[in-house]
A and B are shown apart, each in its own frame.
Chain A
């Protein structure tokens, strides 16, 4: 793109002035206030126009308007330009800067409006370069202030920043690094960290969400508990209802029972009243008549019974007693001393006999005597005793007595037999001794035996005499007399021994006979009493026997007892009637029964009490009612407790809907913050990646662009340049030392020129359409010394072979250089008139 002409229809101080520009390099020179800056601005605005939109413009736009809008004709602010595009078209572009309406771009050859190709509200020719108004101003247009800023020591880093800014946004906005810092700062404030101690929006949103989730969970839990509680209340109340229903059933049953009892009482009252119209008289249960009858009967029944007496009468016994002998004196049987003496005599006699009349070897033995005695004596005696006992047992005392006597006799005989056996044995022994003596000497033995007999007879006599018996005749005779006398005394003794028993029998007989007499008297008295009693009650059978009287009296007693019982019943019934009536009447009883029946029927109907239900006793019903009343109370208490708890729950129940809304809001807030964080993070990542990539691509381009001209602008001091892709920092290689030096440490003039080189390189780099961007330079050599200025102008001149260069300068050195170096038609020097308003002078140097 080349600008051929700029016509300031109404721009700043210009009114229809034209600035023709060469296709190569044009230097517009003039003193201060000659209008260089106005032409610089007019040139730029002729191409780009101004932004079209509602409201106020940017501050820069406002500053431009304030400076360049005609103050005396503000409604007219117009500028035009003719440009030649690299595609061969020539375009006339007119900008209605005031109204922003009559703006257009016309293809001169075709006469066609091509504004649409570059329309951005108003036509903007920078768009043919792939730029816009702002980036055109930032890259194509280089002002004095920019150069001064780069050249100053205080802002040496601006060179690098400018490259970064241009690389980022064609110089219109922040650098990528600034944008990334801005994103980071914004993220810190608008999102914040996601750590427990953080207080930023992200953490706050998460805490809020967690709180909301917990609150909702709690609200739902409480709501569910509330529902469950409600169900429990319902169940408890149903239990109360059921318990009450059962209680009502029992109440109805009891009422029915009461009604039936009342009906029974009414019927009973009526029955008793009919039976006892008046109070029945009270009968005395005991009176003298009844007592007499009872006593007579009792006395009769208790009378002694007469006993029939048998056996000897008392008279007979008295006679028998009187006939008894007295007791005998002397032995009633042979005394042992006598019998021993007799036995000794017998032995002596036997011994003498054994000695014989002459000696004899043999001697008769007495053994057969001993063995001939019967041995059954003890056995017989025992049998007799047993028989006597048996006779006593069976009630035969006489037989028993006889048997006892026989036993005594047998015993006595046995005793004698035993004595005899022992005597025989003694005798046998003596015989043996005699025989021995005989054998020793018969004579001696004979004499001794004889003596012994005599001695024995004497001893017997003595014994008899000692017993008071007369000793007449031989000893043996005397003994016979003594033995007979003993037997006689024994018989007398036996007779005399009956006296005591007879006396006792007599006494017993006398007692028995007196008892019989008493019994007969008592019986007579009892009978007499019976008859008196019978007479007292008017019994007809006065002459009857006692038993008949007794029967009559007992019948009278039974009748009397029945009458008493009937009277007691009547009294009891009267009392029962009195109790039933109380202070009321039979009518009251009937009314009560009717009332109770009505109540019972009503209750039964209310609770559906079956008519034929199981009969339960009243006592059981009362017990059941007490239990059910307790059940009702317990169920009611439980229900009341649950209802109270439900009320508390209801009052403190969180609102689930509100909790859900808070959860939704907090979720949305967290989503917003997380989305913002994700957006910011992704933006930063992409921006950082774009920065790296663009810097990586741009660095060699810039290095080449600088390196191409660096030896010329530095007079050979620096021969090579490098650009760091990381931050676009520039280093240059010193020719003399071969060392690389940071560009920002170079001299101001060198930095200025490097900056311009970079601007050129960047301008072309940023152009994306294949067009060649012109360069509009305003006082860019102000900081350079003369030599560098000329070198730089030479560089610019060389650059103008590739792109149009338009340099505005008040510097006379520049004007002189232009006058020397620029040649029409490729180049041009335009000298502006003084600010006195002289007409625009165009000077062709050559």
Chain B
């Protein structure tokens, strides 16, 4: 038996860094990713599609997205099993409850594992989050009430992997991997962690389309084949529509703003999709770094996010601080008084530029 397993698509999630048109494009990309997923399910002739939660964002979904989901699911001629997560939790006001889904869609709605017989001796246990937080563990103390092979579909957090995830990840419906074995779960198809993980008894496919810059791991969907011995054979496929790049642009030695523009244009020129470029290096004091002007260089991209990394201006601050001038006193005072290095950097540069009569007093 073959399954296509995906999770954490997060339809209608916002993109805080992006301009409105870029954010809309990224949201469209998510939908296209789902279309790819369902096409792949057809191409691979899987027996069922498994979605382990966070299909959409409950507090943000649009009616259009709901209609898109309904139609997309209705178009595919194979079962789709949905286990709501903490972002698309099940409630009386959820699209899960309000939409008349096509008959091939099966929704797990209980905040505990409930069975669904896939075949003789093969049971899929699924559970749903019914609130955005504080969902109790699904697997602790769970014992199937029947024999055969048991699979699970849920949005849950393996405790051991929490530190391996991106910052800010909360352990919703936590469990320990050993609990799966104790419960007799042959394999759990999971969601929530965006960093992918393929283990003998559980799988996190990761978010199928990039959500953030700098994501690592081979994220996408998992084609899982249930072997005769109850084990799962994984095959990862990329289905991402969005092209996202996170690059460092060295601007060491830049003598003027054109040097930085050339370095950035050279770096992003061959790229497509969305790019986050981090400018780092040491530049001459006269160099003006204007991110808004530099952003124009990303016109060929879907989105360009510019940020300043380790950017140093080649003032010899020690030497300046050694001066008996007001400038030196200012540099010394700033060093003594301002603990925050970034603020100190900006204040010192602003003061020095003001003393130089420069107009670029907003330090990037």
Contacts and interface: CB of A to CB of B under 8 A. Distances in A.
Contacts of A183: 350, 354, 361
B337 interface: yes
A223 B354 contact: no
Contacts of A694: 324-326, 329
A174 B357 contact: yes
Nearest to A120: B316
Interface in A768-817: 768
Interface in A227-256: 227-228, 230-231, 233-234
B233 interface: no
B98 A234 contact: yes
Nearest to A654: B62
Contact of A679 (B253, B330, B346): B346
B322 interface: yes
Interface in A464-521: none
A689 interface: yes
A833 B136 CA distance: 99
A641 B215 CA distance: 47
Given A190-B362, A220-B59, A658 B23 contact: yes
Contacts of B17: 664
Interface in B310-349: 316, 319, 322-327, 329-330, 333-334, 337-338, 343, 346-347
Interface residues of B, number: 55
B322 to A, nearest CB: 5
Contact of A53 (B284, B329, B330, B333): B284
Contacts of A230: 93, 95, 98
B28 to A, nearest CB: 12
Given A173-B355, A230-B93, A679-B343, A657 B325 contact: no
B169 interface: no
Contacts of A170: 323, 325, 327
Grouping DSSP codes into helix (H, G, I), strand (E, B) and loop, the A interface class, with mixed when no group exceeds half, is: helix
Interface stretch (A72-80, A680-688, A750-758): A680-688
Contacts of A698: 324
A467 B341 CA distance: 178
A695 B325 CA distance: 9
A54 interface: yes
B293 interface: no
A169 B326 contact: yes
Most chain B CB inside 10 Å of its own CB: which residue of A683, A695, A766, A768: A683
B323 A130 contact: yes
A341 interface: no
A690 B330 contact: yes
Contact of B354 (A132, A656, A683): A683
A824 interface: no
Contacts of A658: 14, 20, 23-24
Contacts of A653: 62-63
Interface string A95-126: 00000000000000000000000001000000
Interface in A125-145: 127, 130, 132
Contacts of B324: 694, 697-698, 765-766, 768
Interface string B57-72: 1011011000000000
A686 B335 CA distance: 11
A693 interface: yes
Contacts of A290: none
A169 B327 contact: yes
B343 A690 contact: no
A176 B326 contact: yes
Nearest to A650: B63
Interface residues of A, number: 62
A813 to B, nearest CB: 36
Nearest to B254: A54
Contacts of A678: 343
Interface string A652-663: 010111101110
Given A186-B359, A662-B20, A54 B333 contact: no
Contact of A173 (B14, B60, B256, B356): B356
B343 A657 contact: no
Interface string B1-33: 000000000001111111010011001000000
B354 A180 contact: yes
Nearest to A231: B93
A657 B12 contact: yes
Given A228-B93, A661-B14, A676 B362 contact: yes
B183 interface: no
Contacts, number: 161
A624 B362 CA distance: 79
Contacts of B182: none
A182 interface: yes
Nearest to B322: A768
Interface string B78-119: 000000000000001111011000000000000000000000
Given A178-B357, A233-B98, A661-B14, A689 B325 contact: no
A55 B256 contact: yes
Contacts of B326: 167-169, 176, 687, 690-691, 694-695
A664 B23 CA distance: 12
B259 interface: yes
A173 B359 CA distance: 13
B363 interface: yes
A227 B96 CA distance: 11
A448 interface: no
B351 interface: yes
B208 to A, nearest CB: 18
Contacts of B60: 223, 655-657, 660
B338 A231 contact: no
A598 B319 CA distance: 105
A179 interface: yes
Interface in A186-243: 186, 190, 220, 223, 226-228, 230-231, 233-234
Nearest to A765: B324
A319 B267 CA distance: 172
B302 to A, nearest CB: 15
B354 A657 contact: no
B334 A234 contact: no
B333 A690 contact: yes
Interface string A154-175: 0000000000001111100110
Interface string B212-245: 0000000000000000000000000000000000
Contacts of B343: 678-679, 682
B255 interface: yes
A142 to B, nearest CB: 18
A559 to B, nearest CB: 76
A616 B203 CA distance: 59
Contacts of B334: 686
B284 to A, nearest CB: 6
Contact of B347 (A226, A233, A686, A768): A686
A178 B351 CA distance: 11
Contacts of A675: 346
28 contacts: A53-B255, A54-B253, A54-B256, A55-B259, A166-B325, A169-B355, A169-B356, A174-B355, A182-B354, A182-B357, A183-B350, A230-B93, A230-B98, A234-B92, A653-B63, A655-B62, A656-B12, A657-B12, A661-B14, A665-B16, A680-B350, A687-B354, A690-B333, A693-B329, A694-B324, A694-B326, A766-B325, A768-B323
User: 9 shortest A-B CB distances, which residue pairs?
Assistant: A690-B329, A664-B16, A650-B63, A227-B93, A690-B330, A179-B354, A657-B14, A54-B255, A168-B326
Interface of B: 12-18, 20, 23-24, 27, 57, 59-60, 62-63, 92-95, 97-98, 253, 255-256, 258-259, 284, 316, 319, 322-327, 329-330, 333-334, 337-338, 343, 346-347, 350-351, 354-357, 359, 361-363
Given A231-B93, A653-B63, A768-B324, 9 more contacts: A180-B354, A183-B361, A186-B359, A227-B94, A658-B23, A661-B20, A682-B338, A686-B333, A695-B326
